[in-house]
């Protein structure tokens, strides 16, 4: 049977296209049609972007901001003193960039209890205020009858320890016996270029992207980028991804850096990195070396690898030279120890080497200052 002519016309392709044009947005616009369509498209893109940003803020930034608002620095016990006569001295441990809780590091150094009771600082994940940390240590020392204080800082934690040391030495009645620096960069020039660029990249993102200080998504991206050599393969000019390795790295980052209670927030990492950028530790070293009317100047101990190339983060030779310049030389208040097998501030990975060198070299050096402080009038 033949189709009716009107039916055939209804399905004509030309008419169909014409009908589609008639139903398009803006078909009836006669003035500024292209401009109005361009504006409409931009508005549509902005609406979608705002919806995505809203999800990012509600599910990523807001919960982390609420959690960080409840954090505060803490002083946690790590070891009791080996000798009951040493309850008058406290050793306070501080971790480096990306760390929050110094308890695992202090636990790897049981030999420190031969100096006195050992405490570990847990940073405020919202940021760092060295005056608050110093006041916290002084309050705990006063409450516990502790007169003498030794500070230990690993990597960037040494920069924080030096600033805390200045507060305690100049503005409290406690005696600062010594500051132990483990592979500490005394200024930004002591940080090796690759690690320095990672820090500056993170700070740049934090200043540019709203909510970046709390964003776990950004932290995941930065941490994965820092580990990309473990899953990124190069075949010619284009990279390839080892999916199994990528999954392993992603699981590690999520476990250790995103969902761990002891993972540093982006804001804390920024504060830690900016402590090096702002001034480093040379000014604090100079302040600790100035004569004090009622106190002896503290001892300074620097722990570094014998082979400087084993430290891939800090140029320890540079820090070594800076310490000699600012701490009176190796015959003054400075002791430098150089274990052969350590790398960058890794007592958890190399506990035997660290404990051995602390026991054989650091403890006798600090003991002289400790005994001198005890013989001074209160």
Q: 186: exposed, middle or buried (C-beta count within 10 Å: 0-12, 13-18, 19+)?
A: buried
pLDDT digits over 311-359, tens only? 999 999 999 999 988 876 545 689 999 999 999 999 999 999 999 999 9
Which residues make Cβ contacts (< 8 Å) with residue 94, sequence separation at least 6? 102, 120, 121, 151, 152, 153, 154, 157, 158, 160, 161, 164
Average pLDDT, the chain: 84
Residues 153-207: tens digit of each pLDDT: 999 999 999 999 999 999 999 999 999 999 999 988 898 887 777 777 777 776 7
Q: Is the pLDDT of residue 3 over 60?
A: no
For the packed helices 156-171 and 282-289, what is the interaxial angle rounded to 10 degrees? 30
pLDDT digits (tens, 9 = 90+) for 133-163: 999 999 999 999 999 999 999 999 999 999 9
Contact 262, 348 (CB under 8 A): no
Angle between helices 156-171 and 130-144 (to 10 degrees): 60
Alpha helices in the chain (DSSP H): 5-10, 13-23, 33-56, 62-68, 103-107, 130-144, 156-171, 193-208, 216-226, 243-253, 266-278, 282-289, 316-326, 351-357, 363-375
Give the DSSP H or E segment for 177. strand 175-182
Q: Which residues contact 202 (CB under 8 A, 6 or more apart)?
A: 222, 266, 269, 270, 273
More confident residue, 72 or 331: 72
Q: Which pTM was predicted?
A: 0.78
**Structural domains of the chain, with CATH:** 74-190+276-375 (3.40.50.1820)
Evaluate whether 142 touches 108 at the Cβ level (below 8 Å). Answer: no
pLDDT tens digits, residue range 266-279?
Answer: 778 777 777 777 76
| Sign (positive or negative) of CA dihedral 211, 158, 119, 164 | negative
pLDDT at 359: 96
């Amino acid at each position: 049977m033949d189709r009716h002519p009107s039916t055939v016309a209804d399905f004509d392709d030309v008419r169909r296209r014409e009908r589609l044009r008639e139903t398009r947005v803006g078909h009836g616009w006669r003035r500024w049609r292209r401009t109005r369509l361009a504006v409409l498209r931009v508005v549509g893109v902005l609406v979608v972007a705002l919806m995505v940003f809203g999800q990012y803020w509600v599910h990523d930034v807001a919960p982390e901001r609420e959690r960080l608002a409840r954090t505060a620095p803490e002083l946690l016990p790590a070891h009791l003193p080996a000798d009951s006569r040493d309850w008058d001295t406290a050793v306070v441990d501080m971790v480096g960039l990306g760390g929050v809780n110094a308890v695992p590091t202090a636990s790897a150094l049981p030999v420190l209890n031969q100096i006195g009771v050992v405490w570990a600082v847990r940073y405020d994940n919202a940021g760092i205020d060295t005056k608050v940390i110093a006041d916290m240590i002084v309050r705990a020392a006063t409450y516990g009858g502790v007169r003498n204080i030794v500070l230990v800082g690993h990597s960037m934690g040494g920069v924080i320890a030096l600033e805390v040391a200045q507060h305690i030495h100049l503005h409290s009645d406690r005696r600062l016996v010594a500051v132990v620096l483990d592979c500490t960069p005394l200024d930004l020039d002591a940080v090796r270029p690759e690690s320095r660029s990672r820090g500056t990249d993170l700070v740049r993102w934090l200043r540019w992207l709203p909510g970046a200080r709390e964003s776990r998504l950004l932290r995941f991206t930065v941490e994965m980028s820092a580990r990309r050599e473990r899953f990124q393969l190069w075949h010619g000019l284009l990279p390839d991804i080892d999916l199994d390795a990528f999954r392993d790295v992603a699981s590690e980052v999520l476990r250790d850096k995103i969902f761990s209670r002891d993972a540093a927030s982006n804001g804390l990492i920024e504060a830690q990195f900016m402590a090096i950028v702002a001034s480093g530790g040379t000014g604090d070293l100079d302040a600790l070396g100035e004569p004090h009317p009622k106190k002896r100047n503290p001892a300074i101990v620097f722990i570094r690898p014998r082979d400087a190339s084993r430290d891939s983060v800090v140029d320890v030779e540079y820090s070594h030279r800076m310490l000699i310049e600012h701490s009176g030389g190796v015959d003054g208040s400075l002791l430098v120890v150089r274990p052969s097998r350590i790398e960058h501030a890794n007592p958890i990975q190399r506990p035997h080497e660290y404990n051995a060198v602390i026991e054989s070299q650091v403890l006798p050096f600090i003991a002289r200052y400790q005994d001198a402080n005890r013989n001074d009038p209160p």
